[in-house]
Structure 1
Amino acid sequence: MTAFSLETEQIAWCATLRELADRRLRPLAEKGEPGRVNRPLVAALGELGLIARLFEAGSLDLCLLRESLARHCTEAETALALQGLGAHPVAAHGTPEQRDRWLPEVTAGRAVAAFALSEPEAGSDAAALALQAAPDGTGWRLTGEKRWISNAPEADLVTVFARTTPGAGARGVTAFLLPADRPGLTGARLDMLSPHPIGSLLFDGVPVGPADVLGEVDHGFAVALGTLDRFRPSVGAFAVGMAQAALDAALAHTATRTAFGGPLKDLQAVSHQVAEMAVRTEAARLLVYAAATAYDAGEPGVRRRAAMAKLLATETAQWVVDTAVQLHGARALRRGHLLEHLYREVRAPRIYEGASEVQRTIIARELYAEAAAAPVPEGSTS
């Protein structure tokens, strides 16, 4: 298999996922309250085996999963992805006790997970995080705040990153796994444009010990980066799914909506816009698939390719959704319309898990590093 075509079984699986999203998951999503964890939806994802698939799938299958769900139910896609983001550090770095305690609950959809990295003054510059882990006997006390945390404050378990060595930058951060009922841990919901749950977490001397550490003390930043690298191409897949949903809506609308004596599709200005939407969506899809395939194959340059995939896909999805709104006119801005929903949903992926500007920084840094490591051609004067 190449990065540019799918096997028959994968195509069939994607069709099954889209049917499940439309028939089984979307009705549950529609009953949920915006900004709150939809536990019946999470439970259904667990019952269908989709959460467990997160921890078994390669990067390409993860992308196919997220893209397929997003095309018909963004709420289901996001609920699924957040389970993976919050619990992947446990699966990858947890002790046997941590894994046995939490992974069955997460995969069954009985426990909701959160990934707590961002802070009020540490978003894109994650190495600047200031949540303090002060030594306290054999353990630590966490004091500070996390903000912009998906599933907070309703999550049952939280992967949290705190500074155990002051002044050490990324080298002084430790990852901890906390149950939400730990004394001193509280939180609040944040009213955001995006419809999925986001909040803050407040740490008032929260006790943690060696049994709560994920990975090694002072090496938590590697846990964070590894998790982000794992999910970054699939954020692009989520964006591609939304772009495809907007394209589908634009095709249906312009084929049936009449204006100036005929269907909109007969207007060259409209048909060319739709063609451009399709080209950009397919280009983003192929770049996502290529990055995911490279990740699965262990090829060099994965971080650069993943950053490229997320950058292009999320920026493309924003443009495609906006163009679809323009083609629909005022009806697309009415509360409850698919495109109104997508318009709110599509904005956040350009920021979270590394803003577009951060992706460009990663791409440039990796390119220069690759160029510096490459052998100089014989006879070159550079």
Structure 2
Amino acid sequence: MSTPADTTFHELAPEYVALRERARELAATCAPLACRADESDSVDREVRALLGESGLAAVQVPREYGGEFHRPDSLAVTLVREQLAAESGHLDSLFAMQGIGSYAISEGGSDELRRHWLPRVARMDAIAALALTEPDVGSDLKALSTTITAEGGELIVSGRKSFITNGGDASYYCVLGKEEVDGRTGYSLVLVPADAAGVSWSRPHQIIAPHVLGDLVFEDVRVPAGNRLGLPGKGFALVLATLATFRVSVAGAAVGTAQAALDDALVHTTGRAQFGVPLARLGPVPQLLAMSWTEIEMARTFTYRVARAAAADPAGSLHLSSMAKIGATEVAGRVTDRAVQVMGRFGLVRGTRVERMYRAARPMRVYEGATEVLLDALSKQLIKGARS
């Protein structure tokens, strides 16, 4: 049982409808594996194989290198994540990072790097990762301490990265570090293969919704100068371009998470009676269910609108992507909490989908821009616009 969300009025083009259906089929195939995969701190091989067989990872790279679209499409990625996140956070993360961890190659890599890595990313033969965060650096990326030094025909990468998605399982890392360029400190991106000499990793963290995370150490790692992504000292431009393209997809994942929780709450409350009536008609439960449906549809409609805008103009729509991310993740938090509440003790059972969705919803308000950080940026943009 589910809400009438599948018959909403979003007027998706046929290719997007077909893509959403493929994603739904993959999610259903992976559903029996979700409980195991969602508790894993390393990439689940069976889930990876199924994602590869589905061909959906090709959405994340340009058509020229084996992709489905001319370039990674924000609406396509958002629609896929909505369906995948409704069954498995592990599957959703694995899919999402193929784009987040490869976009800098698509936009700033040499032809040689693109030809080597992007078709492998599309086939799931290579696992992608983006290494930004450090042990003492989160939102304030300009305070990072990792260094990049050009020497002859090589680049030397030294430093530590922390809480890196796919850390330890990735095939390569797009690493952000400081670099002295023409006497000034800039920030550059470099592709470092995971098997390069001097790269090591550990897994000191496990978060409330288990996630493939690793801490990385780069000890004077030498890579060819051709592994540079973008221009020297201009790495932030590629990081912002990545966020502009993929941030709205977090909203899609949040909508899918909330929808799954509501669907499970509906099954429970319509199938279980108390005091002689179904729970779905008892006390405040009907209002809680209806409010959840209302908020999900509001979040879905705005998310789709923003995803279309981001596909057309990623940089010009970044503020909207931030709004969608804030709004949908906050909705996911409220809806999953209500779902657990109306299901009572059955909502607390470890390993059930609603319990996994409850835990999965919480980190969404932190990663890829915490709610408060995004609100601060939006407030500055709003006030600046009012003064001009």
- Structure 1 and Structure 2 fold alike (TM over 0.5): yes
Which of 336, 340, 345 is equivalent to 1:325? 340
Query: How is 1:1-382 mapped onto 2 (pairs within 5 angstroms)?
Result: 5-7=10-12, 9=14, 10-22=16-28, 24-30=29-35, 32=37, 34-55=40-61, 56=69, 57-165=72-180, 172-189=186-203, 190-298=205-313, 301-373=316-388
Identity %: 38
Counterparts in 2 of 1:284 and 1:66: CA distance versus 1, 3 Å:
same
Distance, in Å, in 2 between the alignment partners of 1:270 and 1:143 is: 55
Counterparts in 2 of 1:305 and 1:44: CA distance versus 1, 3 Å:
same
| Residue-by-residue CA offset, 1:276-300 (whole Å, 9 max, x unaligned) | 1111111111121121122233388
Distance, in Å, in 1 between the alignment partners of 2:198 and 2:81 is: 35
| Residue-by-residue CA offset, 1:221-245 (whole Å, 9 max, x unaligned) | 1111110111110011000000000
Distance, in Å, in 1 between the alignment partners of 2:232 and 2:316 is: 28
Counterparts in 2 of 1:179 and 1:13: CA distance versus 1, 3 Å:
closer
Distance, in Å, in 2 between the alignment partners of 1:301 and 1:107 is: 27
Distance, in Å, in 1 between the alignment partners of 2:227 and 2:220 is: 15
Distance, in Å, in 1 between the alignment partners of 2:137 and 2:325 is: 21
Distance, in Å, in 1 between the alignment partners of 2:85 and 2:206 is: 22
Contact conserved, 2:271 with 2:278, CA < 8 A, in 1? yes
| Residue-by-residue CA offset, 1:245-281 (whole Å, 9 max, x unaligned) | 0111111111111112211111240000011111111
Distance, in Å, in 2 between the alignment partners of 1:4 and 1:201 is: 45
Counterpart code for 1:177: L
CA positional deviation for 1:12: 4.9
Distance, in Å, in 1 between the alignment partners of 2:319 and 2:9 is: 19
Contact conserved, 1:114 with 1:152, CA < 8 A, in 2? yes
When normalised by structure 2's length, the TM-score is: 0.89
Counterparts in 2 of 1:300 and 1:224: CA distance versus 1, 3 Å:
closer
Counterpart code for 1:185: V
Contact conserved, 2:74 with 2:249, CA < 8 A, in 1? yes
Distance, in Å, in 1 between the alignment partners of 2:9 and 2:135 is: 40
Q: Where do 5+ consecutive residues of structure 1 fail to align?
A: 374-382
Matching residue of 1:380: none
SS for the counterpart of 2:284 is helix
| Residue-by-residue CA offset, 1:344-366 (whole Å, 9 max, x unaligned) | 21111111111111110221122
Counterpart code for 2:43: V
Contact conserved, 1:139 with 1:207, CA < 8 A, in 2? yes
Counterparts in 2 of 1:4 and 1:213: CA distance versus 1, 3 Å:
farther
Distance, in Å, in 1 between the alignment partners of 2:9 and 2:96 is: 24
Contact conserved, 1:43 with 1:108, CA < 8 A, in 2? no
CA positional deviation for 1:217: 0.7
When normalised by structure 1's length, the TM-score is: 0.90
SS for the counterpart of 2:291 is helix
Count how many residue pairs are aligned between Structure 1 and Structure 2: 369
Q: Where do 5+ consecutive residues of structure 2 fail to align?
A: 1-7, 62-68
Report runs of 4+ in structure 1 exceeding 6 Å deviation: none
CA RMSD of aligned residues (A): 2.3
Q: More displaced, 59-68 or 294-303?
A: 294-303
Counterpart code for 1:183: A
Q: More displaced, 29-38 or 258-267?
A: 29-38
SS for the counterpart of 1:21 is helix
SS for the counterpart of 2:129 is strand
Distance, in Å, in 1 between the alignment partners of 2:85 and 2:212 is: 17
SS for the counterpart of 1:164 is strand
Distance, in Å, in 2 between the alignment partners of 1:120 and 1:74 is: 24
